[in-house]
Structure 1
Amino acid sequence: MAVLIFGHKNPDTDSVCSAIAYAALKSRLGIDAVPAAAGKINRETAFVLNRFEVAPPLIIQDVKTQVKDLKLENIPGLPPTTSILEAYHLMEEKHLPTLPVLNDAGELQGIVSMKDIAMGLIRGDFHRLCTSVSNLIDGLNGTLLSGTAGEIEGRISVIAFYVETIKGTFNDESIIIVGDRYDIIEHAIESRVQLIIITGGKPIPDKYIQLAQSAGVCMLSVPSDTYYTSKMIHQCGYLASIMRIGDVIRFYPNDYLEDVRDEMSRSHFRSYPVVDEGSRLAGFINRKHVLSPSRKRVVLVDHNEYAQSVDGLEEAEIMEIIDHHKLGDISTNLPISFRNVPVGSTCTIIYQMYLEHGLEPNRRMAGLLLSGILSDTLYFKSPTTTLADRKAAEELNRSVKSDLEAYAMEMFQAGTSLKGQSMMEIFNKDYKTFQVGHFEAGISQVFTLDVDEVFLRRNEVLETLHTLHENRNLELTMLLVTDILKEGSYLFYQCKNRQLIPLAFQTSADQGVFVTGLVSRKKQVVPRILEAIQQLDASR
């Protein structure tokens, strides 16, 4: 199973580019890795991916264990025209509790168990048979005397009467089982029955074989006696005649394991087929699969908090965390590689890891890493920027060969236009929740060169803030509109404590107030709010 590498919800350029570049590094080291994004790619990131001709990553909503994560049991399927006897022998030989019945396209038609075979042979219609001549030859060890090995469907008669008694009872649907009673055989041929099975294995005079051939009547010779033949003939019937169809519980690769457990708890079957959307069989699962399931293996980049990660992370096996934020609340049962470096971008850390392995990223990966650094450091204007970020960007640009300032402005322009987006979309572009002191805050940050658009929609901003604040029941909900050129941010917020924001940022309580130099959510906004909370608590 490939390792899944992804960043935080509402992915930004740093989280997406670091995931893609790290997956590329893993692949070069011989590790199967797939980059992913925990949500829709934003405009800035889409611009970067398009610029460097890199395919967008897989979009994921959760990492809950699914059926496709399990090692399915591979049980051979049989076509519906297989004989019941052949299916029985296969189940005995392979110790299989269940067999799938598949058509030529591999689509599941039904299920057969040993119980189905037993009940079919007990409750079946013993007067009729639908099968092929080849099934009868194989099952009864017969020899074809006349006719062709086509399909047979009709009413079975075991003849123990005088010929005068049965005259007028044969027709073209009749399947006759008889010993070396040549008067009966001749009458059956004249009646053009569908099939004559001659028991006992004795040589049949050519006269009757030629009569049967001329009349187009299929005739078999079998070595067993009439009793054994009549007993075994129903086991030569098509598997389709006894397979379960309507009550077959089937699962799909994307089904969640928790739902599978619930369904299994309400049923009594031992094995369950897994099929794709086209009903093609993928394999089988049973109860032991859900007791000790395989889990998704994941690497987290650019975050280390449950609230910022995808749903179901508790079910996954976290292999590694690479981040540049404060320590969060994610824990693991076993030791893992956890790299947390106080730099301005996760892409800086990923680049350093390339160098540690003696590798240089190719131009496309260098372009992504450079873009992630420029984005997360606001072209080195963020207070989180370090010398390591500047050095990494300089070295990566040797491969990319771009005018850093011009490229950064072009990237920001592509990603910061707010036209055509709903306020909810704008708010959710980069929204994160933080446990700030003893209460939870939800803070969204938008970097833009289009501040006028925000103020033209001021009422919509405040209405959206109010709705989110009430629906999510937070102590503080904030929209931080960061003006890249002015190197500061406008504050819009809803807070249960009206004193908090003015105290934290030493400004008025007005909505949309500008705070010079405020550009980093993690290094400036959250610490100031925490400090203000502590001051308010101390003054009570």
Structure 2
Amino acid sequence: MLYIFGHKNPDTDSVVSAISLSYLKNKLKGDTIPCVLGDINKETEFILNYFNVNKPRLLENVKTQIKDLNYDKIISINPRNTILYAYKLMEKNKLKVLPVVDDNNKLLGLVTMKDIAMELIKGDVYKLKTAISDIVNDLDGEELVKIDDEIEGQISVAAFYYNTLKDDGILNKNSIVIVGDRYDIIDYAIKCNVKLIIVTGNKTLPSKYINKGIKEKVNIISVKNDTYTVSKLINQCNYVSSIMKDNNIIKFNENEYLDDVKEELSQNRHSNYPVVTDDNKYLGIITRRHILKPNKKEVILVDHNEYSQSVNGLREANILEIIDHHKLGDIKTTTPINFRNNPVGSTSTIIFNMFMENDIKIDKNIAGILLSGIISDTLLLKSPTTTDIDRLAVKKLNTILNLDIEKFAMNMFKAGTSLEGQEIDEIFFKDFKEFNIGDKKVGISQVFTLDIEDVFNRKNEFLSFINDIHNNGKYYLTLLLITDILKEGSYLLYKCDQGALINVAFDTKGEQGIFVDKVVSRKKQVMPKILEAMDIIK
């Protein structure tokens, strides 16, 4: 699965770019999911509802999880399978461990080759609890009389004379008797109502003993192996649940992060660890081998190319492609990737042209959100970042939609710029970006609104908040741009370590709340002015 997403504090262009690019990739036989890195704003919500497009999935991080690993899909067994069945399965598939699961595939325990070996050395060789059908299967036998499905009792190898067995009272109702073609002992065992008689050597048992077994309700089976071999194998016909480990099993949920798993593995010496779902369903087995060479989540970035603006854990992911219209950032890759960076007003414009290049028809809802993305990022084509390429894209997209663009844009801006009921931190972080300039950190928030009065009614609260963010984040400059769409300019609220910076950058007195005409673009106007001013006042 390939994740496509824009930057943190998503704006309309980043959200619709992710949705539209995912749609395009999937049309080209890809398997992608559009995502967002935070709550969508009111403008974007208005657009998605208007064009009936689903919200993208919220993506918290792209850290490597257990489910990203190519863990081994080792087969599992049922607790009522036998030890011998487990051994043969492990031998055939060259396995050292088998998970034991219930009928709903929920993990019950583990059995290892070591457990089987220790059972042969230290186990109770006289105790047996298993299904008759399993004994028949494991010992290549045949049912002669079957009264019970399951047998539980003590194993006795009939090596004594008939009189010794009788005089010593060795056989009873709990006995499981292993015997050859010694009919006197078979007859006596039936009279004792033993649990089971296993006749060895593939000998034909006369029908009278079979009939007696039926009458006395004694289970009888015949096997091909001799008495010695059967006596060695019979206790391995026990249920595997009798030796499986079911306490303090170290297992990992598929959603756990690799970093957390590594820490736990460093404290344990086991070789194999089960992987389970949230409801404990077994998925597979991981080993240290899988963790040393993990798979990474695959991602495509749109509308950004800086680590500080991207998803948590991005350094752990495999970046396949970047589609952006901002300056080059600090993201690095270990292999070549598709990196499309065009000087246009909107990432949506670039993606529209990708549709054209691939000759993919644009559905009406995708055309609508692409048009909205361009309108949003270029302020209805009034931003200085706007290019003829953006204008042409809007024109072509509207041939699909036939919208009154002016009216639609005003409704969109009105829905998106209302600050009613929003807290100061919510407004500030709605579209906040961090930039690293040498050893200095600059944080710039931008709010597009038609409700300027609401901001200035809370001017002192905004300044106090900006001051806290500035000090806590150790920024060189913390700036809030309040952009008036109709007046085509921005008001400035800020905190800066160099008091003259704002004066020099915007050729103004630098008063709090000062209006700067024709400054509406953080990327095209504000950042270049700040960079230039920082060079001047070094």
Q: Which TM bucket (shorter chain)?
A: over 0.9
Match of 2:157 in 1: 158
Verify the 8 A CA contact 2:171 2:192 in the aligned structure 1.
no
Compared CA separation, residues 95 and 169, structure 1 to 2 (3 A): closer
Match of 1:125 in 2: 124
Match of 1:208 in 2: 209
Distance 2:328 2:96 in 1: 50
By how many angstroms is 1:11 displaced? 1.1
Q: Deviations over 1:429-456 (max 9, x none)?
A: 1111012354111111111122222223
Verify the 8 A CA contact 2:434 2:442 in the aligned structure 1.
yes
Q: Secondary structure at the match of 2:252?
A: coil
Match of 1:60 in 2: 59
Match of 1:108 in 2: 107
By how many angstroms is 1:427 displaced? 1.6
Q: Which moved more, 1:457-466 or 1:376-385?
A: 457-466
Q: Secondary structure at the match of 2:7?
A: strand
Match of 2:399 in 1: 398
Distance 2:512 2:245 in 1: 67
In structure 2, runs of 5+ residues without a counterpart are none
Q: Which moved more, 1:348-357 or 1:455-464?
A: 455-464
Q: Secondary structure at the match of 1:228?
A: helix
By how many angstroms is 1:180 displaced? 4.1
Match of 1:263 in 2: 264
Distance 2:533 2:435 in 1: 15
Match of 2:41 in 1: 42
Verify the 8 A CA contact 2:165 2:171 in the aligned structure 1.
no
Match of 1:234 in 2: 235
Verify the 8 A CA contact 2:63 2:316 in the aligned structure 1.
yes
Match of 2:441 in 1: 440
Identity of counterpart residues, as a percentage?
A: 52
Q: Which moved more, 1:143-152 or 1:183-192?
A: 183-192
Match of 2:361 in 1: 360
Compared CA separation, residues 271 and 437, structure 1 to 2 (3 A): closer
Q: Secondary structure at the match of 1:418?
A: coil
Compared CA separation, residues 232 and 463, structure 1 to 2 (3 A): same
Compared CA separation, residues 236 and 169, structure 1 to 2 (3 A): closer
By how many angstroms is 1:366 displaced? 0.7
Match of 1:374 in 2: 375
User: TM-score scaled to structure 2, two decimals?
Assistant: 0.94
Distance 2:520 2:303 in 1: 18
By how many angstroms is 1:154 displaced? 2.5
By how many angstroms is 1:508 displaced? 3.6
Distance 2:120 2:470 in 1: 67
Verify the 8 A CA contact 1:156 1:177 in the aligned structure 2.
yes
Q: Secondary structure at the match of 1:8?
A: coil
Match of 1:507 in 2: 508
Q: Deviations over 1:287-341 (max 9, x none)?
A: 2222322222222111111111112222222222111111111122222222111
By how many angstroms is 1:181 displaced? 4.5
Verify the 8 A CA contact 2:107 2:282 in the aligned structure 1.
yes
Q: Secondary structure at the match of 1:203?
A: coil
Compared CA separation, residues 459 and 245, structure 1 to 2 (3 A): farther
Match of 1:79 in 2: 78
Compared CA separation, residues 232 and 13, structure 1 to 2 (3 A): same
Distance 2:15 2:92 in 1: 51
Verify the 8 A CA contact 1:97 1:270 in the aligned structure 2.
no
By how many angstroms is 1:87 displaced? 1.5
Compared CA separation, residues 160 and 437, structure 1 to 2 (3 A): closer
User: TM-score scaled to structure 1, two decimals?
Assistant: 0.93
Match of 2:18 in 1: 19
Verify the 8 A CA contact 1:298 1:317 in the aligned structure 2.
yes
Distance 1:225 1:356 in 2: 77
Matched, 1:137 2:139: no
Verify the 8 A CA contact 2:147 2:217 in the aligned structure 1.
no
Match of 2:177 in 1: 176
Match of 2:385 in 1: 384
Q: What is the one-letter code of the residue matched to 1:264?
A: L
Q: Mapping of 1:290-309 within 5 angstroms?
A: 290-309=291-310
Q: Secondary structure at the match of 2:110?
A: strand
Verify the 8 A CA contact 1:321 1:339 in the aligned structure 2.
yes
Distance 2:500 2:274 in 1: 61
Q: What is the one-letter code of the residue matched to 1:250?
A: K
Q: What is the one-letter code of the residue matched to 2:33?
A: V
Distance 2:68 2:170 in 1: 63
By how many angstroms is 1:47 displaced? 1.7
By how many angstroms is 1:168 displaced? 7.8
Q: Which moved more, 1:160-169 or 1:329-338?
A: 160-169
By how many angstroms is 1:149 displaced? 5.7
By how many angstroms is 1:404 displaced? 0.8
By how many angstroms is 1:182 displaced? 4.3
In structure 1, runs of 5+ residues without a counterpart are none
Count of aligned pairs: 535
Matched, 1:253 2:263: no
Q: What is the one-letter code of the residue matched to 1:531?
A: E
By how many angstroms is 1:374 displaced? 0.6
Match of 2:490 in 1: 489
Compared CA separation, residues 96 and 163, structure 1 to 2 (3 A): closer
Distance 2:116 2:166 in 1: 38
Distance 1:44 1:122 in 2: 72
